[in-house]
């Protein structure tokens, strides 16, 4: 279990508090799992390492990794594309554990069975790990992994069963608060209100319908459809129809899933 004090200790309020929060996360993981290392990433799309308030890489200053070729996973630009760990984070929001035999989550997500774990150790930079996906607003995905130092420990079923929920809470609190403290303001507009008709037009546009086709579907003229999509594009501070659809999906007005 995680108490409120422990959670508060891993949350970053300002950049000055990053180092303390990271140390608290490491200590919380070690209390539960022993000699394991933490790896954190606030955005799997960028690959930038998470740093403290002075710009030092947390992986080396706090979490016990080195910048050697064998250890410096954050220095590999293709890691987010090649590794099964970030791949799994794109399809699951619950903690998982992974090794060369596959990926297992708390929820039993069947999509995880499709994750390619071929040549797992080379591609994942570990032999096994507990992985915490961190899904944040506007479609951003972060991640945290906890990895045993013992290379012979590849069956993580028991430590996962015992500690996955707690590790998940702690890692999500650290990664999301770090992102809020470090990153600049989002370029997405805040406080906008799309009309029901604007959302309806964008929803049809998202599945590839033209203005003429949307007009036929909702019994409105082509000019009216253009008017609604133009208004939505302006409100969303988008430069094109496709960007308007994307931003509307990020903000939860429409879904690109179905």
> Helix (H, G, I), strand (E, B), or coil: what is residue 132?
strand
The SS3 assignment for 38 reads strand
What's the pLDDT score for residue 79? 79
The CA angle 93-97-103, to the nearest 5 degrees, is 80
**C-alpha separations of 31 from 20, 121, 168 in Å:** 16, 26, 15
To which residue do tokens 């399809």 refer? 91
DSSP letters spanning 74-111: GG-TTHHHH-HHHHHHTT--S-EEEETTEEEETT--GG
Instruction: Of 125, 136, 211, give the one whose Cα is nearest residue 172.
Output: 136
The tens place of each residue's pLDDT in the chain, 258 residues long, gives 888 999 999 999 999 999 999 999 999 999 999 999 999 999 988 878 899 999 999 999 999 998 876 777 877 777 777 899 999 999 999 999 999 999 999 888 999 999 999 999 999 999 999 999 999 987 889 999 999 999 999 999 999 999 999 999 999 999 999 999 998 666 667 778 999 999 999 999 999 999 999 999 999 999 999 999 999 999 998 889 999 998 898 888 998 765
CA pair distance 204, 218, nearest whole angstrom: 10
Task: Say what the pLDDT of residue 97 is.
Answer: 97
Stated length of the chain: 258
pLDDT, residue 156, reads 97
Q: Where are the beta strands (DSSP E) in 34-170?
A: 36-41, 96-99, 102-105, 128-135, 141-148
Q: Is the pTM of this model over 0.85?
A: no
Paired residues of 96 in beta bridges: 105, 131
pLDDT attached to residue 173: 97
The Cα–Cα gap between 234 and 206 comes to: 17
Interatomic CA distance for residues 64 and 159, integer angstroms:
20
Q: Which two tokens stand for residue 127?
A: 């032999």
Tokens of 14: 């300002």
């Amino acid at each position: 279990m995680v108490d409120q004090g422990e959670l508060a200790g891993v949350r970053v309020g300002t950049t000055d508090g990053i180092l303390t929060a990271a140390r608290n996360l490491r200590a919380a993981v070690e209390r539960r799992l022993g000699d394991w290392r933490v790896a954190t990433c606030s955005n799997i799309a960028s690959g930038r390492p998470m740093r403290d308030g002075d710009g030092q890489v947390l992986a080396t200053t706090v979490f016990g990794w080195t910048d050697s070729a064998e250890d410096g996973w954050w220095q590999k630009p293709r890691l987010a594309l090649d590794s099964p760990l970030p791949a799994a984070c794109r399809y699951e929001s619950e903690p998982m554990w992974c090794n060369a035999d596959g990926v297992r989550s708390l929820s039993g997500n069947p999509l995880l069975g499709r994750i390619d774990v071929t040549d797992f150790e080379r591609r994942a930079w570990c032999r096994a790990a507990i992985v915490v996906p961190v899904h944040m607003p506007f479609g951003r995905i972060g991640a945290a992994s906890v990895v045993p130092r013992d290379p012979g420990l590849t069956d993580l079923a028991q430590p996962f069963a015992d500690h996955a929920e707690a590790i998940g809470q702690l890692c999500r609190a650290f990664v999301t608060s770090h992102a809020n403290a470090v990153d600049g303001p989002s370029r997405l507009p805040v406080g906008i209100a799309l009309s029901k008709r604007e959302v309806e037009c964008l929803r049809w546009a998202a599945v590839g319908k033209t203005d003429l086709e949307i007009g036929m579907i909702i019994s409105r003229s082509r000019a009216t459809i253009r008017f609604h999509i133009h208004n939505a594009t302006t409100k969303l501070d988008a430069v094109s129809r496709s960007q308007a659809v994307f931003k509307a999906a990020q903000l939860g007005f429409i879904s690109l899933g179905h």
